[in-house]
Structure 1
């Protein structure tokens, strides 16, 4: 029997759970009998994503729609199979749709990883991502574009927040009725390659445009929430403005 990555459900707000995978997170938002899934981990996490839904006492078929923050393999790897298996629509920002379809690529390449292999934290991280299916074709051909304004007609009524920089079409999702903000990779709270926890941006090799990624934090600082659900790292309880200030301060510590 194939090994399945472990996960942990972390309650964030009413009907909102952060799912902590081994190397990346995804989010489940419940409303009535339906769910919104935000992101889906690496290709090897496909069964684990479904298990996380069942751990809430729901079925994968209860997912009314999948939202993508951005098209990196660790966020969309399981979604093509999920959409095909359960007939669920998948959405991304209009600028990110061609990236999700792999009409172009804005993510660290194997060459980029090799050039950084001298950093002690990179080799063990790279071994995990290869085992997790990072080299597989993960395109989601049927992804649909979202409007940039919300709320969306999905459980939790998420409001897209454009945060370009990490990728051109990166979106965060604000849940004003739940006091929560799903930050994807625009703002994280930890990563194996940084070695510390707390609000931060990712290392430079992951960003399409690091300067733009730092500038995009302002869009998060002006939202109202009490809890942040990042793409990497633990749940963060606190306001976005404080988290953004901490991330900017910590940027000098991130290579």
Structure 2
């Protein structure tokens, strides 16, 4: 491994899966996503020019490389990697991918401390109201990776997405300080990261079976519920016709529209836990 790149000190394989793990979908003619255990990463483009959005779970770089080759060919290499945020399940294989691909990585500047070894995310909240996956969330890595010597660059302030001229990024904090979503106006496709997901992520059974329902961000890693609610309002106002979430299956049409509207209106009961150290923004 390049000495200028460092994976987090607590990086490890997480023994967790779902019935969707290892499956891939072509959501749009140029948009593909793959479920890596319990999280999705996305590839946008064609064999001549494509971008990777997020970098999956720890210890899964070969799986990501294999999927890229299956879609774009044996010498597939992205023009860039876009990170929605830096949690372990979105950057788990990033360091190893950068060993294979010398490409720029773009993220919101507020995520930089967690991508340059300067700051760890808060530890997951095992006390939060929720199911089994919330209770065992202490096993999840929270230490920062360090790609400061790689080509880590800030997303442009004007909202454009490098290498993807039809897309723009949307600031969606709450789940993490600098989380972003990606939106394409022409077909109203939304890559929502963990701001809005389509599975109840703290429930072991629902994650395993990938039960479809519009939900707010994973409870055990969300630190600012006021910002998270504002982010959901912002995404609903875009009137997306398709959503590809960080967790769960893609959703479209009336089910998406109705689900998003309900989430905005009832976020305090659907998404915000009744108790937990980050509820009301107060860590205890």
Pick the TM interval, shorter chain. 0.7 to 0.9
TM-score using structure 1 length: 0.83
List gaps (5 residues or longer) in structure 1.
Answer: none
State the match for 1:120 in structure 2: 132
Counterparts of residues 98-247 of structure 1 (less than 5 Å): 98-109=113-124, 112-113=125-126, 115=127, 119-122=131-134, 126=137, 134=141, 138-141=145-148, 142=150, 143-155=152-164, 157-194=166-203, 195=206, 196-238=211-253, 242-247=258-263
Separation in structure 2 between the aligned mates of residue 105 and residue 22 of structure 1, nearest angstrom: 23
The structural deviation recorded for 1:203 is: 3.9
Please report the RMSD computed on the Cα atoms of aligned residues, expressed in angstroms: 2.9
Other structure's SS at 1:18 match:
strand
Q: TM-score, normalised by structure 2?
A: 0.75
Where structure 2 has 5 or more consecutive residues not aligned to the other structure, the ranges are 1-12, 274-284
Give the number of aligned pairs.
245
Q: Is the 8 A contact 1:106 1:208 kept in 2?
A: no
* Aligned residue in 1 for 2:269: 252
CA distance in 2 between counterparts of 1:118 and 1:182 reads 25
Q: Which SS does the other structure have where 2:199 is aligned?
A: coil
Residues 104-143 of structure 1, C-alpha deviations (whole Å, 9 max, x = no match)? 233434xx33x469953446x659x66xxx3776333232
Match of 1:56 in 2: 71
Is the contact made by 2:81 and 2:105 (CA closer than 8 Å) also made in structure 1? yes
* Larger-Rg structure: 2
Do the aligned partners of residues 163 and 135 (structure 1) sit closer, same or farther apart at CA in structure 2, a change above 3 Å counting?
A: closer
